[in-house]
Chain A
Amino acid sequence: MAARNWIFAVAVFLSLSTFSSAQDLQIVNAERRIDLSSHIVKAFLTLKVENIGKDPAADMLLAFPPTQIKNLAMVQALAVMGKKKKKNYLPLDVKPSEQPDAPNDAGYFLVSFATPLGPGETVTLEVLYILTHSLEPFPVEITQSESQLVYYRDSAVVLSPYRIKQQTTFFKTPSTRVESFTSVEPANRAGKEIKYGAYEDRAPYSYAPVIVHFENNSPFAVVEELVREIEISHWGSLQITENYRLTHGGARHKGVFSRVEYQSRRSISGSSSFNALLAVLPPRVNSVYYRDNIGNISTSHLRTGFKKSELEFEPRYPLFGGWKATFIIGYRVPLEDYLFEAPDGRRYLNFTFGCPLVETIVNKLTLKVVLPEGSKDPSAVLPFAVNQDLQVKYSYLDIVGRTVVVLQKDNVVPTHSVPFQVYYTFKPIYMLAEPLMLVSAFFFVFVTSLAYVHIDLNIVKK
């Protein structure tokens, strides 16, 4: 990996002469803080962009190396307006972009400024991007008593299609234990922080690969697949069922699992394992259950509150590296909190996207909204791109089946837990269909038994 990165860097430098920035922008100052304390890597990038060209610039590009682009869960950009005291942030539109002459498969995101940047003007941007699966355990397999060490690979300088006048990069590690880090002068380490820079005046597409090897025992809780099903019942509740396939995504467990060690020397034994999880559920949640294929799991605890409810739970066994657990969480919330009527008469569900578990990565999230039977014209509104599909599901006493809006997204992180809406039309008369069916069935039973009692089926009269 490291060797490839070097080659990549060389190639970048070679391609410098042929590739020049399309727009005449330059970055006056870049400061990057990369938080490596959990397995979700959060990078905060502060850019001061200046337009040195003659024409106003409407947007700018953010570049990412190909190793990061596939693990990039989210990119957000904010424009900082005003001075120190009256600072306020304006969210900017960020979308992935293809550049035909991108060197070495670098990926791009296009940030559109709120107002085009005039010549000579500067703007300060705050960019947050989140990387998943970017900490590579090394050694790959550890025993129960070892703690987990990981590699993080990045560049000491910010990859950018623009010239950067001055830049610094900070890596924040979870503990002071850092095995090694690549030195790109000036670079130094103080406590939990490694500082690269400041580097002056780097050309576009500069790249200086670095590897940080450090201890990270935070729970590497990776949900390989999460299927959330939200079933709307117009009789007053929303039933949510969540199917998890959880795994420990860190260094694989090797050799024995000793219960004596685990229960008596908890601090040093199995430090990279985890057995407690926390799910943030909506307030006023009720009928919560936690089970798996073979039955109920009794180790859970629910705290309800006004703003949110918290479900603390443990899988059946502690999860060591590579161990898996599947489970189901289900709960019910009152309908009036989440279902509203739009001005145009349609109804819409306003619910939270993403995974309720804190600090987890979801590799594949499928969210199914089961609309009541008889609903029509469903449409989903989300702040980011997802795959959408429609299905039909049969539930209790259904005849034509219920429309299911399926939303599917890969690589979901906690920042994706934002509200989304599903609009649909529904005639309240359909609500009566099922009770009527039951009533008529009972009626039929009684009528037949009445008839049976009163009809004499004997051939010979007694």
Chain B
Amino acid sequence: MATNGSPKPEPMAAKKASPDLLNSSFSFKSLKLKTKQQELLLRVSILGLVYVLAFIARLFSVLRYESMIHEFDPYFNYRTTLFLTEKGFYEFWNWFDSESWYPLGRIIGGTLYPGLMVTAALIYWTLRFLRFFVHIREVCVLTAPFFASNTTLVAYFFGKEIWDTGAGLVAAALIAICPGYISRSVAGSYDNEAVAIFALLLTFYLFVKAVKTGSLSWALGSAFGYFYMVSAWGGYVFIINLVPLYVLVLLVTGRYSMRLYVAYNCMYILGMLLAMQIRFVGFQHVQSGEHMAAMGVFLLMQVFYFLDWVKHKLNDTKLFQTFLRITVTSAILVGGIALGVGTASGYISPWTGRFYSLLDPTYAKDHIPIIASVSEHQPTAWSSFMFDYHILLFLFPAGLYFCFKRLSDATIFIVMYGLTSLYFAGVMVRLILVATPAVCLISAIAVSATVKNLTSLLRTKQKVPQTGSTKGVGSSKSSSKVTLDQSQPFHKNGAIALLVGVFYLLSRYAIHCTWVTSEAYSSPSIVLAARGAHGNRIIFDDYREAYYWLRQNTPTDAKVMSWWDYGYQITAMGNRTVIVDNNTWNNTHIATVGRAMSSYEDEAYDIMRSLDVNYVLVVFGGVTGYSSDDINKFLWMVRIGGGVYPVIKEPDYLVNGEFRVDKGASPKMLNCLMYKLCYYRFGELVTEYGKPTGYDRARGVEIGNKDIKLEHLEEAYTTSNWIVRIYRVKPPTNRL
């Protein structure tokens, strides 16, 4: 930290003779000579504290639960990281995983973004080299908080770049605890996003810096930042579309400059070449529709440069106008033809479903149920904006106002980043994450500018009547101020009240963030916690119970069929082969499983035999009242299954368009495999006092089919709270 902050003071202080920071007011009273050092010390220590804060705020999950990997995808990442540290990079790169997608398998090396795993492995190897013999799990658990801390540093520099150091510090503090970011970066949330947000912000910062300076080295830096981002997360597409868009806006608004030309060309060409080294991206980067905008803008830049040159050479406006017309028309024509031919010949692949669903939120719902079925792909509710941003939601427009007041290349960028990402955040819940840095930065500008205006107002009012000696300082301050403040006759008390209000809001923000982090975002979702009747904490550890049972007590080559949500967990914790998992690359395969789950037992048996299934795992919340179980997900299985196999029809499972499991449920529903497996022998159980047997607590009804007989399957294991039920597929009986 010290090294990061220290080289900055000289150019900073030189540039702004009167930075009128809040901090500098203290330094005037003490030794005058050391103002610079004091300011630096203050800044570095604030940044240091923010760095630490960002880290420890994310440790709630470790304190509340334990040092463990959370949720679904992180288990895959953990498993691959383990593989990488054990077998080395080349084995990892060439890894064909036969434990998932049975019998197809999966080429892991070519179908993942290796950035996260390589980062964790490098940290692990470094620590081991330094004789810190930590377990790889600890490294993985703490990767996200560590990178969140690093992000605060980037946010500081970014804020400094677009506004001033004050805004940078505020931005760092805001992003350190912003729930929108914490939700994806608590300790244990070992997912791509953990490092990707850091990489994203770093790339943007370096690019803005490159545009500002026109320096090749910054552009090179941003290309490498982009490379890191590409290696880490599929969200890099956002960068490769936002940056060209930004460049385009600068071109249109007449802000074209040599700096921009150097920055963009260097970043695009190098970034592209580097990105193509990632196997999962490869030639997509020059062939797929999502990347075409960047290439188009790149070509446009050349045309612009060419025109500039011609204009310079011709030195004749009229001639140039004609030339301009011809060139632009032909350029657009050639570009259009190239794009058309490329698309028609299939050389340029069309946009993917996920990309479509971003532009058209209803697309996935109608065409790709597998994308629509994921809860984090749902459109965002207003409440979750409030939940994740809190006061930033109000500060954001204020910040936009300040940005427009002081328009520059950098502020244009942040405004564009903020607006586009906010749109995407509205389309998909998980993309709130991408918008968070922008929202924090813009809000930080609002906070910083407001507070600065108010305090300086306060100070000038104080000082002017007292002595004339400080007049020089006061006047230099007011001159640097936006003229708005002077014109409005704020009273001292008004300013104080407003300041108190700002600090109240900020403290509410801090309280809200802490509360959200500890209550909502720190649950690993593997271990469920509930409050008992006497206020004691009850832990449901059924998932791990079941996975460990699978790991220890089934043959090592057993194949487990379950809905795809649990695939990664079964392979990582249960160490058994699965049919489908969370890498939903083969829709047909998933549909086959969905079909098996929604068929009658004997039909399902044939499907399971054809897939060599030995065990079937279902998640059932009827005993505990755990609502995200397989019965509640069942309609998605029907939809996805029906999308490929028309024999499965959604209306068969509904009664008057209603999904029921009680006596009024449709006969197909009451006899399909999923229903049978979930409710097998549940009818004998009293779950709640005063209710009949077979009372499903998750749905609050008495089940409709209490006498379930299984013919081809048998109960192999059910966890202590019935959350996970595992069935063994019997071998076929001998024909007589």
Contacts and interface: CB of A to CB of B under 8 A. Distances in A.
Contact of B718 (A257, A292, A325): A257
B157 interface: no
B133 A449 contact: no
A256 interface: yes
Contacts of B714: 255-256
B131 interface: yes
Contact of B541 (A297, A322, A323, A326): A297
Contact of A399 (B131, B132, B553): B131
B551 to A, nearest CB: 8
A19 interface: no
Contacts of A316: 541, 544-545, 548-549
Contact of A323 (B10, B527, B553, B718): B553
Interface in A288-332: 292-298, 316-317, 322-326
Contacts of A87: none
Interface stretch (A115-123, A337-345, A390-398): A390-398
A258 interface: yes
B718 A259 contact: yes
B652 to A, nearest CB: 30
Contacts of A448: 3
B597 interface: no
Nearest to A449: B2
Given A453-B6, A462-B14, A257 B717 contact: yes
Contacts of B527: 295, 298
Interface residues of B, number: 36
Contacts of A255: 714
A452 interface: yes
Contact of B716 (A256, A260, A296, A396): A256
Q: Which of A316, A449, A453: most chain B CB closer than 10 A?
A: A316
Given A257-B717, A316-B548, A396-B132, A295 B68 contact: yes
B715 A396 contact: no
A316 to B, nearest CB: 4
Interface string B1-21: 011001100100010000000
A415 B6 CA distance: 66
Contacts of A395: 133
B3 A397 contact: no
Nearest to A394: B133
Contact of A258 (B539, B541, B715): B715
Interface in B516-531: 526-527
A326 B552 contact: yes
B573 A294 contact: yes
Contacts of B3: 448-449, 452
Contacts of A264: 684-685
Given A298-B539, A462-B10, A396 B552 contact: no
B722 interface: yes
B131 A394 contact: yes
Interface residues on A, range: 20 to 34
Nearest to A275: B720
B158 interface: no
Given A257-B718, A449-B2, A324 B553 contact: yes
B137 to A, nearest CB: 9
A257 B544 contact: no
B91 interface: no
B549 A398 contact: no
A263 B549 CA distance: 18
B688 interface: no
Contact of A257 (B2, B133, B573, B716): B716
B684 A260 contact: yes
B547 interface: yes
Q: Which of A259, A293, A296, A322: most chain B CB closer than 10 A?
A: A259
Contacts, number: 85
Interface in B543-578: 544-545, 547-549, 551-553, 573
A263 B66 CA distance: 28
A430 to B, nearest CB: 15
Interface in A51-97: none
Contacts of A462: 10, 14
B311 interface: no
Contact of B66 (A256, A260, A293, A296): A296
A257 B715 CA distance: 6
Given A294-B573, A462-B14, A317 B545 contact: yes
Nearest to A314: B720
Nearest to B728: A256
A264 B686 CA distance: 10
B699 interface: no
Interface string A419-458: 0000000000000000000000000000011001100000
Nearest to B543: A294
B681 interface: yes
A257 B714 CA distance: 9
A256 B713 CA distance: 10
Interface in A261-297: 263-264, 292-297
A461 B504 CA distance: 46
Interface in A147-197: none
Interface in A234-273: 255-260, 263-264
Contact of A397 (B14, B68, B132, B541): B132
Interface string B664-690: 000000000000000001001100000
A110 B722 CA distance: 57
A396 B133 contact: yes
Contact of B6 (A256, A263, A322, A449): A449
Contacts of B549: 316-317
Nearest to B548: A316
A106 B252 CA distance: 100
Contacts of A296: 66, 68
Contacts of A298: 527, 539, 541
Contacts of B526: 295
B544 A295 contact: yes
Contacts of A326: 552
A294 to B, nearest CB: 5
Contacts of A317: 545, 548-549, 717, 719-720
A316 B7 CA distance: 55
Contact of B131 (A294, A397, A449, A452): A397
Contacts of A398: 131
A323 B553 CA distance: 6
Contacts of B719: 259, 317
Nearest to A260: B681
Nearest to A262: B718
B568 to A, nearest CB: 13
A399 B719 CA distance: 46
B6 A452 contact: yes
Contacts of B7: 452-453
A79 B431 CA distance: 81
Contacts of B718: 257-259
Contacts of B2: 449, 453
Contacts of B681: 258-260
B494 to A, nearest CB: 42
Interface of B: 2-3, 6-7, 10, 14, 66, 68, 131-133, 526-527, 539, 541, 544-545, 547-549, 551-553, 573, 681, 684-685, 714-720, 722, 728
18 contacts: A257-B716, A257-B718, A259-B718, A260-B684, A264-B685, A295-B527, A295-B544, A297-B541, A298-B541, A316-B541, A316-B548, A317-B545, A317-B548, A326-B552, A394-B131, A398-B131, A449-B2, A449-B6
Closest 9 CB pairs of A and B: A259-B718, A324-B552, A296-B66, A316-B545, A449-B2, A294-B573, A453-B6, A256-B715, A295-B68
Interface of A: 255-260, 263-264, 292-298, 316-317, 322-326, 394-399, 448-449, 452-453, 462
Given A294-B68, A296-B68, 12 more contacts: A255-B714, A259-B722, A260-B681, A294-B547, A294-B551, A317-B548, A323-B552, A324-B553, A396-B131, A396-B132, A453-B2, A462-B14
